[in-house]
Amino acid sequence: MVEQARCLDSLALLLHGDGKLDDAKEVAFRAIDLFRENGKEYQVCKCHHLGIIYRSKGETKKAIHHFEVALEVAAPSNWLNLLFWIQFNMAELSSGEGRFDDAHAHVGEAKLHATSDNDTYLLARAMRLRARF
d(CA 20, CA 1): 24
Give me the chain's average pLDDT, please: 94
CA dist 21 and 14 (Å) reads 10
pLDDT for 47: 87
pTM of the entire predicted model: 0.89
Residue 110 and residue 88 in contact, taking contact as beta carbons nearer than 8 Å: yes
Yes or no: say if 1 and 31 are a contact pair by the CB < 8 Å rule: no
The enclosing H or E element of 24 equals: helix 21-37
| Measured distance CA(81)–CA(85) in Å, rounded | 6
Other beta carbons within 10 angstroms of residue 45's beta carbon come to 24
112: confidence class by pLDDT, cuts 50, 70, 90: very high
Give pLDDT tens digits for 65-98.
Answer: 999 999 999 999 999 999 999 999 999 999 999 9
Label residue 48 by pLDDT band (50, 70, 90): confident
pLDDT of residue 62: 96
Give the end-to-end CA distance of the chain in Å, rounded to a whole number.
42
pLDDT score of 116 more than 90? yes
